Structure formats: C-alpha cells, structure tokens
C-alpha cells in the first residue's frame, strides 16, 4: 500500500471548510498550505485540490519524491549561480597580465647593466645566469610597482620665468600653500631665556626647546599643545629626546638630568658632568655626551650603566654629530680636524684634517655617505665618507655655526642671524641657494622636522618654524616612526625597540663586517687541540692549616701537600683524557664519512 502524503475527506466539514493534514515542506506545497483553514470557494476549487493531492501521493518508483529537507528556492538559486559562473568564465579579461610599470620607476630601482653571457662556455652556467637576471628583473619591477602605494609626493617650489626661489619670503610661501601647511609657519617670542636648542622626536610630532638660561619646554607643535614647561634655574647646554616622547634629557650646568613629559625629574646622571653636547642613538639606547674636559662617554639608558668612555685630549667637545647609518660619532676640534669615534675602540677610528681653522659644525646625511663641515676659514666642504675624500668646497660669507641635512638631502646653514638652505650640494659642484631667511638675533640651533617640510630654528629671540618645500620624506613607515600613533601603539613600539636593541659591540665603521661570520679555520682548531693535549699540569701551591697533637710536624705537612698535589694532577689528567677521547671520536666520524662516500671508490689511494 502506497504511503500518502495528504490525508483528507471528500466532504466538507460542518463549518463549510476543507481541512488537510500537512505532511511535507510548506515550500513544496505552498499552494495547498495557503488553502488550509480557508473557506471553500466552490466545487471547482475542491476538484483542483483533490487532483493535486492525487498527483503528489501516487508516485511511481524512480520518480522524484520531495523530502522534508528539500528546499526548492535554494536549488533554483544554486542553478542560477552555476550558470553565472560559467558565464563569467567565458568572458575574457580586458586587461590581461600585470599592471604596466613606468620606465622612470624601473630606472630608479635598476641594479646596473645585464650580465654579458658571451664568455660563458657551458649551457648549465648560462641558464643559471639567465635565471639570476630574471630574478633581478622581477625584484626591480616589484620595487617599482610598490611606488603606487606611496600616496604622497615630494613638495617643491616652481618659480616663474626670470625668478629665483631664494627671492621668496616665508610669508609669501605661507600665503601660497594650503591652510594646514600655512599653520606650520609660526614664531615663538621668548627673548628672555635664549638662545635656544631645539630637538624633534623621531616621528616629528613633538618639539623640545631648551634655553641657555634654564627655560625648558615640550610641545606638540602641530596642535600647539603645551606638554610641560619649567625653569631649571641654571644654564642648559643641550636638550635631547630619548627613545619615546615621554622622556627627555637636559644637560645642565653641573650634571645631566632626565625628565618625563610632565616635568618630573626621573634621574640625575652625575657621571655626565659639565656636558656641552649630546647625541642619542635610538637603536642602541645609548646617550653619547662630550664635556668641557674633552671626555667622550656612552651611557646605556635602558640599564643606566656606562658602556664606554675615552679622554680624547683634543679640548672642548662642543661640535658633535652622529652618523645615522652606523652610529659612529663625529667630533669637530679647534685645530680644524674631525675625528670619528666608536665605543669599542679607545682611540679615534678616523682622523681628518678638514679646515685650516677651527671646525665649527658638522652634519651627516641620512644614508651616511656624505658629510658637510664648516670652519673658521669661511669654507663649506662636502666629504664622501665611503672614500674619505673631498667632493666639493664652497666659499661662504662667514663660518657656518650650524649645519643640518634634511631627509631629502637639503642642506641648511646658520650664518649669524641668516638661515640659508642649499639644494643638490652633494651631487653638483656649484652650490645653488634654495631659500633664505633673516632673523632678528643670532642662531643657536637648526634641525629639520622628520616627515615634514619644516625647519626648526632656535635663536636668541625664541623659536621659528620655517616652511621648506621638498625637505621632508613624504611617506612614512608606521612600523618605524608613526606620527599618528596612539598610546597603545607607543607602548607596543617601546617594547619592540627594547627587544630589538642592538648591542654596542655592533657599532663599526665598516657596516659590511656585520654580515660576515667570525669563524676559526680548521688549522687553528687543530692547533688549539694539540696545545691542550701536551700542556704540563700547572703548579699548585697549597698551605695546610696548623693542627695539634703532632699532626703539624714537617713530615706530616709535606704528606698533606703531596696528597693535594696528586689529587689536582689526577683531575687534570682526567680532563685531558676526555679531550683526547672526543678528538678520537671526531676523527673516526670523519674517516667513516670518507669510507662510505658514494664516489669514494674513484679517489686515489694513498701509497
């Protein structure tokens, strides 16, 4: 007997309605479920319903029978998507292959000419060189294609015909740029405590000011929000931010102090006394200081320990600069010399005679390839640090007391109360003045703001923020220095910097030496083993204690001494035997490797 999916009666119920007991999904019999508990509209409608019940209840074997879990709607949608996929596959890509890369970008990252394969004899080596060239081309294209991710472009000044950029004033530049950039040009009138030393954080967000008469202030210079302000009531020689913007160091008259961003004193560094100039190495957590006595010192601020110190013997150390590429310290001296120092060596790594008069200021580019120096002989010189040779020499109006390089290679010089900015000084023999600005009083310090087209100038009347289009790097790496980082990101970045801290032993003039492996040769290892095997046992002096009851007689004392010597000798012999055993095991392993070599049967037999 066949199973029925609907059970009903042919007669109407007492209220004139037709009732059906539902046994399948409402989706498969939606027309019937709509007729449940509804008033009958006549015999013709009932006849249609009975015909539908008969069709659904009398299935023959092999016919499709709907189950309770079957969903007609999803089945129809699935069929539709399958047809759409087939339709999309049949379509052709209107832009096949990778996106094209401009030739200018490829030239920027190109690694030289291709390898000449004419002298290669074997096909194997020819194919290997071709694969190498293919890898180089792929790497160049990927590096060039990444340029599209750099959304910002470098700033510049486009002068009109017959005009020069040096003729433009700061007020004219501020009126020509947008509102947000114009707000970066401002001045702080602080004529009671100058001249000022300035320093920006690594991400360029915060500014630190230190007046010679004790005024110290920390500012979020973009929002003009004051973080802290105080007067230390004694002279300040220099100020520097540490690895984050919550701590800074001030070189005061006698000692050096560390404060937080609320102006609270954290540490008093009495080992750093009478400091004139300071530099902070962020990847090594080292604070470098030079004092009036000519003493150069490295201090690890993460542990508070002195790493190294050396007496230079070259007088006051008031001219100091660091090389950002290798963390070498550059010092200028009254004799016109420039010396390079590392904490691992007690004498200068390099000593250069740069000027006939005293050296007044030094600056090094971001990549560490070029150095600019100025002296009392009224000359500005550009040096190639890869060969330690003079590239260009320029005659200027007077000895520049301050020099600074921007991230894009612009060079600024402080000549009394005049700021001059030069362009392409490292690549062109003729010096071209890019911008000039005159101040009311003499300049104390110059520094470019990272990732901004801004030059900070500390002078006798306070501080001036100048607009220099094209000075800063337009795109920043958020993992390296993020100007918009939150409090949590700053905490994570500090922990990461501490974990990735570089040891002072890694500071070296030759950065390529860091990639080499310091490995002893096989002959040196064998020589050390031979020395250990034939070394005589060392002499051992032992003086026994005095004992009573006749135990401290001359014979008894000598017996006790001899017993201790014998014990010491037995221990030494035991250690030597262990070394011999280990050496023998290594030799047997080497012999076994030679004997069971696959191609060992083809080697020449020793006579």
Q: What is the pLDDT of residues 368-404, one digit of tens each?
A: 999 999 999 999 999 999 999 999 999 998 889 999 9
What are 126-138's pLDDT values in tens digits? 999 899 899 988 8
Helix (H, G, I), strand (E, B) or coil at 398: coil
Q: Is the CB of residue 422 less than 8 Å from the CB of residue 434?
A: yes
DSSP state of 421: E
Q: Supply the pLDDT for residue 603.
A: 59
Is the pTM value of this prediction over 0.75? no
**265: pLDDT strictly greater than 50:** yes
In this prediction, residue 476 carries a pLDDT of 87
Q: Convert the pLDDT of each residue in 194-213 to its tens digit.
A: 899 999 999 999 999 999 99
Residue 532 has a pLDDT of 62
Q: What is the pLDDT of residues 474-530, one digit of tens each?
A: 888 888 899 999 999 999 999 999 999 999 998 998 877 776 666 666 677 777 666
pLDDT, tens only, 129-185: 899 899 988 889 888 888 777 777 777 888 888 888 999 999 999 999 999 999 999
Assess whether the previous peptide bond of 390 is cis (omega < 30° from 0).
Answer: no
Higher pLDDT, 88 or 542: 542
pLDDT score at 600: 55
Structure token digits, residue 66: 């709907």
pLDDT for position 334: 93
pLDDT at residue 550 is higher than 90 = no
Rounded distance between C-alpha atoms, residue 266 and residue 353, angstroms: 41
pLDDT above 90 as % of the chain: 51
Cβ atoms of 57 and 23 within 8 Å: the answer is no
Among 258-262, 327-331, 363-367, 585-589, where is mean pLDDT lowest? 585-589
Note the pLDDT of residue 97: 79
**Do you find a cis peptide bond into 394, omega within 30 degrees of 0?**
no
pLDDT one-digit tens code per residue, 215-234: 999 999 999 999 999 999 99
DSSP string for residues in 482-505: -TT--HHHHHHHHHHHHHTPPPGG
Q: Give the contacts of 35 (CB within 8 A, at least 6 positions apart).
A: 18, 20, 45, 49
In order of 60, 231, 332, 335, the CA distances from 353 in angstroms are: 108, 40, 10, 8
Instruction: Provide the pLDDT for residue 52.
Output: 54
pLDDT of residue 259: 96
Alpha-carbon separation of residue 381 from 102, 394, 405, 419 (angstroms): 37, 6, 13, 17
Half-sphere exposure of 369 (CA within 13 A, CB side): 6
Give the pLDDT band of residue 583 (cuts 50, 70, 90): confident
3-state SS, residue 30: helix
pLDDT surpasses 90 at 341: yes
**Could you read off the pLDDT of 412-465 as tens digits, one per residue?**
999 999 999 999 888 888 888 999 999 999 999 999 999 999 999 999 999 999
Is residue 89 pLDDT above 70, yes or no?
Answer: no
Residues 463 and 456: beta-carbon distance below 8 Å = yes
Nearest to 224 by CA among 210, 206, 238, 211: 206
What CA–CA distance (Å, rounded) separates 179 from 451? 18
List the structure tokens of 343.
Answer: 């904490």
Distance of CA 510 to the CA centre of its chain: 20
Q: Please tell me which residue, 212 or 101, carries the higher pLDDT value.
A: 212
The residues that bridge with 411 in the sheet, in sequence order, are 405, 422
pLDDT in tens, 9-51: 444 444 443 343 434 344 444 444 444 444 444 555 555 555 5
Query: What's residue 593's pLDDT?
Result: 54
Between CA 158 and CA 161 the distance in angstroms is 9
- Partner residues linked to 252 by β-bridges: 236
**In the predicted structure, residue 410 carries a pLDDT above the cut 90:** yes
CB under 8 Å to 344, separation ≥6 — which residues? 308, 504, 505, 507, 508
């Amino acid at each position: 007997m066949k199973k029925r999916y609907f059970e009903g009666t042919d007669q109407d119920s007492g209220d004139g309605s037709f009732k059906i007991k539902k046994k399948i999904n409402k989706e498969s019999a939606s027309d019937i479920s709509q007729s449940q508990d509804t008033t009958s509209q006549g015999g013709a409608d009932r006849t249609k319903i009975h015909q539908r019940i008969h069709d659904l209840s009398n299935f023959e074997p092999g016919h499709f029978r709907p189950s309770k879990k079957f969903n007609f709607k999803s089945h129809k949608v699935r069929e539709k998507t399958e047809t759409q996929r087939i339709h999309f596959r049949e379509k052709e890509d209107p832009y096949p292959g990778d996106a094209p890369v401009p030739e200018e970008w490829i030239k920027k990252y190109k690694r030289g000419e291709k390898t000449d394969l004419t002298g290669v004899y074997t096909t194997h080596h020819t194919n290997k060189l071709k694969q190498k060239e293919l890898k180089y081309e792929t790497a160049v294209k990927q590096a060039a294609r990444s340029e599209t991710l750099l959304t910002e472009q470098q700033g510049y000044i486009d002068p009109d015909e017959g005009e020069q950029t040096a003729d433009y004033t700061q007020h004219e530049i501020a009126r020509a740029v947008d509102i947000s950039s114009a707000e970066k040009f401002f001045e702080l009138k602080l004529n009671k405590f100058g001249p000022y030393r300035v320093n920006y954080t690594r991400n360029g967000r915060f500014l630190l000011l230190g007046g010679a008469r004790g005024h110290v202030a920390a500012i979020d210079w973009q929002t003009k929000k004051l973080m802290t302000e105080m007067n230390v009531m004694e002279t300040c020689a220099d100020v520097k931010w540490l690895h984050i913007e919550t701590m800074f160091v001030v070189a005061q008259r006698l000692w050096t102090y560390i404060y937080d961003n609320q102006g609270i004193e954290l540490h008093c560094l009495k080992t750093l006394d009478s400091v004139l100039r300071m530099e902070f190495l962020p990847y090594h957590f080292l604070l470098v200081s030079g004092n009036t006595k000519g003493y150069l010192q490295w201090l690890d601020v993460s542990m508070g320990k002195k790493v190294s110190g050396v007496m230079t013997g070259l007088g006051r150390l008031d001219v100091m600069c660091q090389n950002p590429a290798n963390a070498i310290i550059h010092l200028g001296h009254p004799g016109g010399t420039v010396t390079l120092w590392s904490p691992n060596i007690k004498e200068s790594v390099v000593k250069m005679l740069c000027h006939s008069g005293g050296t007044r200021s030094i600056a090094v580019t971001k990549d560490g390839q070029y150095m600019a120096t100025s002296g009392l002989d009224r000359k500005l010189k550009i040096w190639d640090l890869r060969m330690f040779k003079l590239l260009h020499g320029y005659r200027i109006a007077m000895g520049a007391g301050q020099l600074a390089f921007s991230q894009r290679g612009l060079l600024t010089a402080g000549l009394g109360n005049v700021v001059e900015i030069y362009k392409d000084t490292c690549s062109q023999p003729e010096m071209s003045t890019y911008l000039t600005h005159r101040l009311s009083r003499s300049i104390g310090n110059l520094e470019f703001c990272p990732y901004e087209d801004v030059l900070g100038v500390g002078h006798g009347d306070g501080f001036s923020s100048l607009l220099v289009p094209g000075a800063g790097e337009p795109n920043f790496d958020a993992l390296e220095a993020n100007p918009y980082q939150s409090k949590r990101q700053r905490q994570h970045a500090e922990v990461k910097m501490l974990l990735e801290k570089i040891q002072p032993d890694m500071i070296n003039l030759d950065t390529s030496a860091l990639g080499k492996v310091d490995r002893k040769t096989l002959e040196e290892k064998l020589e050390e083993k031979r020395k250990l095997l034939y070394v005589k046992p060392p002499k051992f002096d032992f003086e026994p204690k005095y004992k009573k009851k006749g135990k401290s007689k001359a014979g008894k004392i000598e017996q006790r001494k001899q017993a201790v010597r014998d014990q010491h000798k037995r221990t030494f012999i035991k250690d030597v035997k262990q070394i011999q055993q280990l050496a023998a095991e290594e030799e047997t392993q080497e012999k076994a490797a030679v004997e069971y070599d696959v191609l060992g049967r083809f080697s020449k037999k020793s006579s």
